[in-house]
Amino acid sequence: MERILIAKTPELAGEKVKVCGWVWNRRDHGKLIFIDLRDASGVLQCVFTPDNAELRKLGDSLRPSWVVEIAGQIVERPKGMVNPEIPTGEIELKVSELKILNESQTPPFALDTDGMEIGEELRMKYRYLDLRRDRLKKNIRIRHQIIQFIRNWLADKDFTEIETPILTKSTPEGARDYVVPARRERGKFYALPQSPQQYKQLLMVAGFERYFQIARCFRDEDTRGDRQPEFTQLDLEMSFVDREDVMELNEKLLIDLVKKTAPRKKIQETPFPRLTYREAMDKYGTDRPDLRKDKNDPDLLAFCWIIDFPFFEKTKGISSSDSESSTWTFTHNPFSRPRDEHMDWLMNKEKIGEILTTQYDAVLNGFEIGGGSIRNHQPEPLKKVFEIMGFTEDRIVNNFGHMLTALSYGAPPHGGIAWGLDRLVAVLTGEPNIREVFSFPKTGDGHDLMMDAPSEIGQEQLKELGLEIKK
């Protein structure tokens, strides 16, 4: 007999079926024993009757989280026993066969709650059990639906999904890199990508024109509620566009995404309001304002765009003489193009603090969910950016020579954006922490307690890599 998913059982009243899953709970009502059986699709009440003493005894031995295979007849529940809270609430399975596939230890915590009352470390250590909760299962499925919708929507708009490398080169992009030693070339290292930023620009040079990727990214930085050491971006880039083109496409995508995957949510205002960086800071004191008119409404979504960011900001550094010196750094990323009217300032390295960039950030309910810009598609302006930041000629060539060379071969005007998919899913599901929409997140201090990572490696492997650990 072929296994049937529990979700399909309401259609099979009167038929004999076989179901498999986990025992959710057991209730002994004297002559009758009830088992709530759960699989990936739902939960089904199974009844052991007294007419088969051996089978009833076996059913009495079952405990929560045991894995079983049950066969029997789908019957209507008696009057007064209907459960309107679940899709299978009008039927039950009268058990005729039971096979115990695997027993289980008692789980270290309850699985029939939302899990918020349990400490982070315990939940993360047993994440595979934590994921059995209805809330987390729902979140992961919504995440899947969102990603699938994005893929289909962009494909319909002639975007090509292209995978870019995970092993790449360490370059200064605003955060610390995770580095990977190269065994064949001792003393040299790959870096895990903070983003596919450079590769997607190179794809524009290659002539693909419309690219996207559901990209894994890595940043060795302090974790918070809205950050993890590894995370997922919707990364996209377009050629022959200006700022308005990119913002308009992404706004349409976000509106359609909400309508399809979160129909209960209400978008407060369309088109999305726009604020300059200066306006946002002056009025709200942040460039990630929460514009909801009713912050107590869990279904209200207030999108907005923040534009016209300063390209550079002053940062304090330490010179070789150990005295303080003022230097410039970028506010978002060094690959952005300044506003057209400020290009001369960039090229002449004047009025640096007044140069505005073509950067645009998408903000939702006080969270930055995306950021992008029109890029410098010519080598000279990009080189000027690094010069303003104090990079030497050798450092520019070493870190970004490949980009400058590529842009010299007829790079088209282009721009794009990267969404923080984890943040977006967290807001749409009403979760306060992005770990609640990850399958296997790290703890707040960046540890994987389930796998015990990061972990030490053996001396033999260190020797092979040409590494020595100093503590």
Which of 8, 17, 140, 123 has its CA nearest to residue 73? 17
DSSP secondary structure, 337-382, as one string: PBPGGGHHHHHHT-SGGG-BB--EEEEETTEEEEEEEEB--SHHHH
Sheet with strand 303-307: strands edge to edge: 160-161, 210-218, 230-239, 414-420, 367-374, 360-364, 303-307, 274-276
By the 8 A CB rule, do 268 and 292 touch?
yes
What's the pLDDT score for residue 316? Answer: 63
Which of 274, 295, 275, 292 has its CA nearest to residue 283? 275
Q: Are residues 164 and 239 in the same domain?
A: yes
Which residue do the tokens 């009167």 mark? Answer: 14
Query: Is 288 inside any structural domain?
Result: yes
Which residue do the tokens 């970028």 mark? Answer: 330
Strand partners, 27: 34
Q: Are residues 81 and 169 in the same domain?
A: no
Peptide bond into 271 cis (omega under 30): yes
Tokens for 153? 């929507």
What's the pLDDT score for residue 444? Answer: 83
Q: Are residues 240 and 149 in the same domain?
A: yes
DSSP secondary structure, 7-61, as one string: GGGGGGTTSEEEEEEEEEEEEEETTEEEEEEEETTEEEEEEE-TT-HHHHHHHHT
Q: Are residues 282 and 373 in the same domain?
A: yes
pTM over 0.75? The answer is: yes
Query: Is 382 inside any structural domain?
Result: no
Q: Are residues 252 and 370 in the same domain?
A: yes
Query: Is 235 inside any structural domain?
Result: yes
CA distance linking residue 136 with residue 138, whole number of Å = 5
Q: Can you list the pairs that 99-104 forms with residues at least 24 positions away whose Cβ atoms lie under 8 Å?
A: 99/68, 99/69, 99/70, 100/58, 100/62, 100/66, 100/67, 100/68, 101/20, 101/67, 101/68, 101/69, 102/66, 102/67, 103/63, 103/66, 103/67, 104/22, 104/63, 104/64, 104/65, 104/66, 104/67
CA distance linking residue 92 with residue 77, whole number of Å = 6
Query: Which helix or strand (DSSP H or E) is residue 334 part of?
Result: none
CA distance linking residue 46 with residue 42, whole number of Å = 13
Query: Is 198 inside any structural domain?
Result: yes
Q: Are residues 281 and 141 in the same domain?
A: yes
Determine how many CB atoms are found less than 10 A away from the CB of residue 471: 2
Which residues are CB-neighbours of 270 under 8 A, at least 6 positions away?
251, 255
Determine how many CB atoms are found less than 10 A away from the CB of residue 36: 19
Q: Are residues 184 and 81 in the same domain?
A: no
Strands 274-276 and 303-307: parallel
Tokens for 417? 């954006």
What's the pLDDT score for residue 311? Answer: 96
Q: Give the total number of structural domains in the chain.
A: 2
Q: Are residues 291 and 218 in the same domain?
A: yes
384, 389, 393, 397: CA torsion to nearest 10: -80
Exposed, middle or buried, 74 (CB in 10 Å: 0-12/13-18/19+)?
Answer: buried
Q: Are residues 88 and 29 in the same domain?
A: yes
Which of 232, 198, 187, 267 has its CA nearest to residue 424? 232
By the 8 A CB rule, do 9 and 17 touch?
yes
CA distance linking residue 433 with residue 227, whole number of Å = 9
Query: Is 116 inside any structural domain?
Result: no
Query: Is 273 inside any structural domain?
Result: yes
Q: What is the pLDDT along the chain (471 residues), one digit of tens a residue?
A: 999 999 999 999 999 999 999 999 999 988 899 999 999 999 999 999 999 999 999 999 999 999 999 999 999 999 889 999 999 999 999 999 999 999 999 999 999 999 999 999 999 999 999 999 999 999 999 999 999 999 999 999 999 999 999 999 887 666 889 999 999 998 899 999 999 999 999 999 999 999 999 999 999 987 665 689 999 999 999 999 999 999 999 999 999 999 999 999 999 999 999 999 999 999 999 999 999 999 999 999 999 999 999 999 987 654 433 333 458 999 988 999 999 999 999 999 999 999 999 999 999 999 999 999 999 999 999 999 999 999 999 999 999 999 999 999 999 999 999 999 999 999 999 999 999 999 999 998 889 999 999 999 999 999 999 998 887
Which of 13, 330, 305 has its CA nearest to residue 173? 330
By the 8 A CB rule, do 92 and 44 touch?
yes
Determine how many CB atoms are found less than 10 A away from the CB of residue 446: 16
Q: Are residues 154 and 64 in the same domain?
A: no
* CATH number for the domain harbouring residue 32: 2.40.50.140
* CATH number for the domain harbouring residue 186: 3.30.930.10
Which of 111, 106, 126 has its CA nearest to residue 63? 106
Query: Is 112 inside any structural domain?
Result: no
What's the pLDDT score for residue 182? Answer: 92
Q: Are residues 96 and 129 in the same domain?
A: no
CA distance linking residue 383 with residue 396, whole number of Å = 7
Q: Are residues 137 and 255 in the same domain?
A: yes
- What's the domain range around 82? 6-102
By the 8 A CB rule, do 201 and 414 touch?
yes
Query: Is 63 inside any structural domain?
Result: yes
